[in-house]
A and B are shown apart, each in its own frame.
Chain A
Amino acid sequence: MADSQAGGSSRGERFFDAHQRATIEAAMARIIPADDQPGAREAGTVEFLDRYLSGLDFIYAKPDGSGFEKLEGKRAEAWQRRIAILRAKYVEGIKELDRTSQSRFGADFVRLTTEQQDRILAGTERPTLQAEAGLEEAQAVAGFAPVEPALQQTSTEIELDFFPLLALHTRQGFYADPIYGGNKDRVGWKLIGFQGPASLAETHAGRFTTLPFFAEQPIDWEEQKHYGAKA
């Protein structure tokens, strides 16, 4: 990777070279595998990530879906720093995946069987798990799988190790609005049964409503006044 630290988007919408991209795509396909329903590969999560890392052109979609915001000033500086940190983590993480794959199975990660890939990824995940008191805490710290309905992000992605970072981005690419390049044909939303808007524009214009998914029966609040003993 000669230009792994280069700024801007010299290669348009992409950051990874062909080998890096294939490696990440294969790993993502193990993080959310296909079964009778599509997984991360089919959702195009690698496209989502490659665009994200390509520079500052795909950070925020315009809220009406008409394109992407142009970042300026301190905000742009912060994102430049963040993207540079993330790129370095990916470049190093991919090298490490291949090093481990070579030493254990004699081939690059992308050439391994899916069972072998799972074993390599499990080994990559282990340090993160061991560093924490248990799965629950590791998930909370990793920030991508809070153990409760999260009210905010208390951890930041630039602090994550390679594997939790990859898992986070896979999840984001699988479920985020398709405008970011992943969630193709809304396969993520179909998997979980989220009846989302047809586009960001629908939400922006106030046409997207979830009222059909509210309760069918009303609640008689008058009657409820008689419940509960006064302390």
Chain B
Amino acid sequence: MAQKRKPERVDVAIIGAGASGATAAKVLTERGMRVVALERGPWRKRESFGGDELANVNRYNLWPDPILNPRTYRASTDAETKVEMFCPVPQMVGGGTVHWQGWLPRFTENDFKLRTIAGGLPGTTLVDWPISYPDLEPYYTKVEWAFGVSGAGGVNRYESFRSKDYPCPPLPPTRYSRKFYEGCRKLGYSCFPTPMAALSRPHNGRPATVQSAFAQQHGDPTGTRSSALSVWIPDALNTGRLDLRPDCYVHEITVDGQGRAKSAVYQDADGDFIDQEADIFILACGAIESARLLLLSRSPRFPSGLANGSDLVGRNATFHEYSAAIGVFDDPIYAWAGGGYVATSSYQFYEHDDQRGFVGGCHIASAGVGIPLPINWGVPDRPMWGLQAKQIDRDFYNHSFAIGMVVHDMPQHENRVELDDKVKDAWGLPVARITSKIHDNDLKMGRWVIDHNAEILEAAGAKKVYRVYPKRITGNCSHQHGTTRMGDDPNASVLNKWCQAHEIDNLFVVDGGPFPTGTGANPTLTIMANAWRVSDYIADRYDAERKPQ
């Protein structure tokens, strides 16, 4: 056990320095609090990133190595459990934002009350959120301006109220974003420049983006794309109040005699165990890993895991499934330009509409076909090998693009994260086992949206269109939510509306775990806005309760 000196107690310990944890670190340190951030992965600097698809996508340079960090999955409660890299996210300072291309759409007002709008849906645990769009709107604006998001407010006809336009104008159109725009125009659909975490002009001392082909799933060596690593971490370090400790893997949150969170026990890079005490603990490991850490933190007082008296930790897990219609065109598209995701979006299918025969809807947008090369790309009728496969690569690669969707999958009680009873990670801890059974509503939504995406491609002049319907949830977006859902009723939720555990008042979760529904949009902007909102609450409360005048 630990030979090292026990570290000093701090105001706040944040577990996980990705999108949400780094947001909290910035806000809390700027509010004067002393923060330790414990990140299980390395702290990589931008010089360590490059344009190398083989390393970044195929050889786990950024993705978790499944030999070290496996997960298991089953398609339903009675299906066989398999080792599968379900819904991974890079584990390092900056988390998933290190390698994203950064689509940052906002949710809409109706996302917070889908149950009221659509009614109940059998087999699901659909609920309204305990917060509403106006609660988050000021924080959306704060994040967009800190990140220098490139976009155009007011273009999307389905957008909810915004107090301020985007700080940077849209990125210039790519050929694939233009084709999508042309298809939408022809059909009379609303579309808008996808709001992106990249600078279309210099912002806060950072230069405009260079538009490399290596963006989606590649780290940014130039510092011109915005991420938790390039924005929040420097902001927090500038205060002098952040102690950022990489390669520190938290195994357990301990509790004191009153049942409050007492310390985070972590293993450092040398393998030593350290006990970090703090007044407040914030979990920010992503919805899968935060739930896993709560379940790993068993004690006589919390025998089924921390904050799990409701038996809801890990349940109601939702994961977006990415799927697409792919169009092949006569003219060159160069869908690798800008990395493949300098896009146009539409919310035409976003809001719930009873006429469509399913609940909810989703964001659609134009997208590349490689990452950026055809190493990790294919079309349904391409054989595995031979001349015909080569011919398809040659003919289609520069002439195709996708219109992607994310399935807004419905929350279900049995879709959950648990501790696997057989498989352990390289540190000897049980891995997360994910149970995810696709709901009929997800399949219906997938078919309907893909068919409509195909119509947009045809309207844009595609000579051939592939429809790839989602068949199961694989977690291929890395988006994950719901495992510590927030709500007003302690029997029906893990956290209250401040993302504070009902059972433990000095324990918060700020990743996607608190989201009662998955919505149909990329979640990270909302995750960061919500983390900022919760951090403001924590700082206000800390000032009021712990430091009386």
Contact = CB atoms under 8 A, between A and B. Distances in A.
Nearest to A85: B67
B541 interface: no
Contact of A214 (B58, B338, B376, B382): B338
A125 B389 CA distance: 15
B52 A227 contact: no
B385 A204 contact: no
A154 interface: yes
B340 interface: yes
A171 B221 CA distance: 26
B212 interface: yes
Contacts, number: 278
Contacts of A64: 47, 50
B146 interface: no
Interface stretch (B319-327, B437-445, B490-498): B319-327
Contacts of A214: 172-175, 211, 337-338, 342
For the residues of B in contact with A, the DSSP-based class is loop
A150 B157 contact: no
Interface string A103-131: 00000000000000010010001000000
A196 B213 contact: yes
B75 interface: no
Contact of A149 (B210, B367, B426): B367
Contacts of B379: 147
B373 interface: yes
B155 A221 contact: yes
Contacts of A217: 173, 178
Contact of A172 (B54, B378, B478): B54
Contacts of A61: 50, 52, 55
Interface string A132-164: 000110110010111111111111111000011
Given A153-B58, A231-B351, A78 B397 contact: no
Contact of B390 (A39, A142, A228): A39
Contacts of A153: 57-58, 63, 85, 376
Interface stretch (A1-9, A16-24, A29-37, A91-99): A29-37
Interface in B276-335: 322-324, 326, 332, 334
Given A191-B393, A214-B337, A231-B353, A149 B371 contact: yes
Nearest to B344: A219
A203 B214 contact: yes
Contacts of B324: 148-149
Given A139-B378, A149-B368, A208-B51, A32 B390 contact: yes
A148 B68 CA distance: 27
A35 B54 contact: no
Contacts of A210: 211-213, 334, 336-339
Contacts of A194: 213, 336, 372-373, 397-398
B61 interface: yes
Contacts of A164: 384
A215 B192 contact: no
Nearest to B384: A167
B91 interface: no
A42 B129 CA distance: 59
Given A30-B386, A148-B468, A228-B190, A78 B65 contact: yes
Contact of B68 (A74, A125, A172, A224): A74
Contacts of B382: 139, 145
Contact of A175 (B191, B374, B381, B383): B374
B210 A30 contact: no
Interface residues of B, number: 106
Which of A65, A163, A215, A218 has most B Cβ within 10 Å?
A215
Contacts of B66: 156
B385 A121 contact: yes
Contact of B326 (A148, A155, A177): A148
B476 A208 contact: no
A15 interface: no
Given A151-B478, A214-B337, A227 B172 contact: no
Contacts of B334: 210, 213
Interface string A33-68: 101010100000000000000000001111111000
Contacts of A62: 50
Interface in B428-470: 466, 468
Nearest to B189: A228
B513 interface: no
Contacts of B337: 210-211, 213-214
A49 to B, nearest CB: 12
Nearest to A205: B221
A221 to B, nearest CB: 5
Given A154-B476, A214-B174, A176 B375 contact: yes
Contacts of A203: 50-51, 212, 214, 221
Contacts of B386: 30-31, 33, 118
Nearest to A224: B155
A191 B389 CA distance: 12
A65 B383 CA distance: 33
A10 interface: no
Nearest to A39: B390
Nearest to B350: A231
Contact of B375 (A158, A175, A205): A175
B113 to A, nearest CB: 15
Given A35-B387, A152-B57, A172-B58, 7 more contacts: A63-B47, A139-B380, A145-B378, A148-B402, A203-B214, A227-B185, A231-B158
Closest 3 CB pairs of A and B: A228-B190, A63-B50, A203-B51
12 contacts: A31-B385, A77-B426, A135-B380, A139-B378, A149-B324, A163-B384, A189-B373, A194-B336, A213-B337, A219-B193, A221-B192, A227-B190
Interface of A: 30-33, 35, 37, 39, 59-65, 74-75, 77-78, 81-82, 118, 121, 125, 135-136, 138-139, 142, 144-158, 163-164, 167, 170-172, 175-177, 180, 188-189, 191-194, 196-197, 200, 203-211, 213-215, 217-219, 221, 224-225, 227-231
